[in-house]
Structure 1
Amino acid sequence: MKEIKIRLATTEDIAVLKSFEQGIIKAERPFDETLKPDPISYYSIENLLKDDATAVAVATLEDKLIGSAYATITPAKSHLKHSKYAYLGFMYVDPEQRGKGVNKSIIDFLFRWIKEKNITEVRLDVYSENAAALRAYKKAGFKEHLVNMRMKI
């Protein structure tokens, strides 16, 4: 059986990571009418890879990248119990590999990195109408916490 491996991303992965980013944007576009028309970009992948407070993880299958995510250590608001937290983003899994635990494996890898940094709080954002992503994150142990609302006037 082919083994899925998780590792830190390198600069050699940038082209594939940029294609993953476009996959994320394509998947999220139906949930967000405020996104500009293509081409857009959410991340500076190069900067994420250089940032000591960020870990970009990738999943590989036979040396082919099939998924990604990052964790970044972020200062918390002063009124919270924790002074820092880890924010997860850039979560993508190749459509052919979905439902095989790839996202959970990446999250588990990032959780180990987060724990090494002595961080105990982890957060992420997900569109409220993205039922598949909500299921995946709940399955990974996340709980709904805060609803961000908007309106156009």
Structure 2
Amino acid sequence: MNVIFKTDIEGFTLREAAAEDVPVLLSLIRELAVYEKLTDQVTATEESMKLSLFGIRPGAEALLGELDGEPVAYAVYFHNYSTFAGRLGLYLEDVYVKPELRGRGMGKAILSFLARLAKERGCARFEWSVLDWNEPSIRFYRSLGAVPLDGWTIFRMTGEALDRLAGI
């Protein structure tokens, strides 16, 4: 489904990404990795993204932001679950707007759309992570009313450690 969501920003629309958008999504993901100084961690391929976003059991959903028909932004999100609330949450994995277009409201439009989507789907929460050094984003998120969670540490397991724990 390729539904278009108009925004209040002249020429800027959001739409659900489709399998044919994977090359442009991957390109934008690589741009985000450059900004976050994490290019060495991008191992996604077009094939892996098609399978995980548009395969038999998609693990996430993606939005593509276009300015006058040109891709300039994206978001990838998925549901998580709160046992305490007994309800789904919406987790934003990535949100990205090309640097030269920041400050024009596109990021806010994406987050606003996702907040409405979370409410429509009955989600108890809308959450995301941000790198500690990314002060511009932290200020932006705080200006929207988001609050950082103190007292939580994110753990990650990959590679050999994941294999060992899985008994592989």
| TM-score, scaled relative to structure 2 | 0.72
SS at match of 2:63: strand
1-structure distance, mates of 2:64, 2:19: 12
Aligned residues: 142
SS at match of 1:38: helix
Question: How much does 1:52 deviate?
Answer: 5.7
2-structure distance, mates of 1:84, 1:138: 23
- Alignment match of 1:138 (pick from 122, 142, 145): 142
Partner of 2:153: 148
Q: Is residue 21–residue 41 contact of structure 1 (8 Å, CA) maintained in 2?
A: no
| TM-score, scaled relative to structure 1 | 0.78
Partner of 1:32: none
Q: Which has the higher contact order (CA 8 A, sep 6+)?
A: 1
1-structure distance, mates of 2:63, 2:107: 10
Identity fraction in percent: 25
Alignment root-mean-square deviation, CA: 2.6
Runs of at least 5 residues in structure 1 that lack an aligned partner in the other structure: 30-34
Deviations 1:91-134 (A, max 9, x none): 11011211111111111112222222110211111111110111
1:107–1:123 Cα change, 3 Å: same
Please tell me whether residue 107 in structure 1 is matched to residue 123 in structure 2: no
Please tell me whether residue 55 in structure 1 is matched to residue 55 in structure 2: no
Question: How much does 1:140 deviate?
Answer: 2.7
Q: Give the partner amino acid of 1:92.
A: Y
Partner of 2:121: 117
Runs of at least 5 residues in structure 2 that lack an aligned partner in the other structure: 1-8, 156-168
